[in-house]
Each structure stands twice: as C-alpha cells, then as structure tokens.
Amino acid sequence: MSIISRPKSRLRLPPNKHQVKQELANDVADFLARGGNVVEVEQGATALINGRFNQQRPSLSSQQQTRTLLSDQVTAIEERKQASRQPKPTPPKVNRRPTKKWIYDDFGEPLRWVWT
C-alpha cells in the first residue's frame, strides 16, 4: 500500500496567532539588536492634555436655520399609502369558454342548441 501525498494548496492562508506573536517578537529582537531601546511608560499615563479629551467644540458661524413644517406633505404621503393598501375591486369572473344554450320556440319547446 502506498501513501499518496497531496500537493500543497496554492491558497495562502492568513497567519495564525502564534505566527503573528513570533513575527512581532522577531521584529522587537531585530530592533534591539540594531541599537534601539524601549522606553517604559507608567501605567495610566496618557497622551491626553491634563488627562482629558479635547473639549473644544467646533463652532458654527452660521445662524440657526428655521425649520419648515412638512405636515401637509406627510398627510399626502399617508393618504397615498392608505389608498394603496385598500384592495382593488376585482372584475367579475368571465367564463371565456363557449357554452351551449337552448333556443326555444314560441310555445316553449326546445328547437336546437346554440353555442354562445
């Protein structure tokens, strides 16, 4: 019995967590080997000014605009919605097949069939 090896997939998979951690550790080791140094920062230190976010709000120089009421447009839209929700009247069902109809004489006796 021989084991058939499957060819490797040409699809490149994204790196898993272990590979990412190893790559990061290698990058840090290379940085330190080239003479770089790491500065440690105290826990809780931030880059915020006085420990706060920027509290200046952008000011808009234009005056506040007056708003227009759209109640009449809203009512028109609602009326159209109601009109579309109402069922449309269905036309009476018309039998399109020809039917036989008796033709009677003056005395009420059947004479012949007629297709209508």
pTM: predicted TM-score of the whole model, two decimal places: 0.31
Please give the structure tokens belonging to residue 59: 């000011």
Q: What gap in Å lies between CA 56 and CA 49, rounded to an integer? A: 12
Q: Is the pLDDT of residue 48 over 70?
A: yes
d(CA 116, CA 109): 19
Q: For residue 116, give the nearest of 103, 107, 91, 108 by alpha carbon.
A: 103
Predicted pLDDT of residue 64: 72
Q: Which helix (H) or strand (E) holds 28?
A: helix 17-33
Q: What pLDDT digit, counting tens, does each position of 7-37 carry?
A: 666 788 899 999 999 999 999 999 999 999 9
d(Cα 65, Cα 58) in Å, to the nearest integer? 18
Residue carrying structure tokens 């033709």: 103
Label residue 61 by pLDDT band (50, 70, 90).
low
pLDDT tens string 72-104? 899 999 999 988 888 878 888 887 888 899 999
